[in-house]
Amino acid sequence: MENFKEKLPILIASIIILALLVGAYYFLVVHKETYYTKIDNTKIEEIYDSSNMKYQYTLISYNKNGKEKEVKFKTSRQLREGAYLELEIMQIRGVVNWKEVQVNDLPEDVKIIMNAK
């Protein structure tokens, strides 16, 4: 029993460290939020990046419940004016993926906010 009491703080610390690592992995690698936006080519700036990204958009986007968030993302080309995008956003990395969607694919709250009906 004495031996267990000596090892208990190490066991607790190990569990806490493991929980922190799992939490960090979840928020940095796994957890993605989906937001929706509409392309406005007046909100684009040309950038000079070492990658093939030539443009950066700064747009207001909304999650499925209508929560607003300003989002920046880079593209290799100008996108179609008025196109609706579904954005995958990660906590630290920002936009990791986007795709064009149709108005019917937008959540109802987002349609109302964007006057997309």
Question: What letter represents residue 25's amino acid?
Answer: Y
Q: pTM for the full model?
A: 0.75
Q: Quote the pLDDT of residue 13.
A: 84
Give the domain 32-114 fold: OB fold (Dihydrolipoamide Acetyltransferase, E2P) (2.40.50)
Instruction: Quote the pLDDT of residue 30.
Output: 66
pLDDT band, very low/low/confident/very high, at 44 (cuts 50, 70, 90): very high
> Band of the pLDDT at 116, cuts 50, 70, 90?
low
Query: How large is the average pLDDT for residues 101-112?
Result: 92
Q: Is a pLDDT exceeding 60 seen at residue 88?
A: yes
Closest C-alpha to 74, from 89, 88, 55: 55
Mean pLDDT across the chain: 87
From the list 108, 105, 94, the residue with the least C-alpha distance to 59 is 94
Q: Is the pLDDT of residue 117 over 60?
A: no
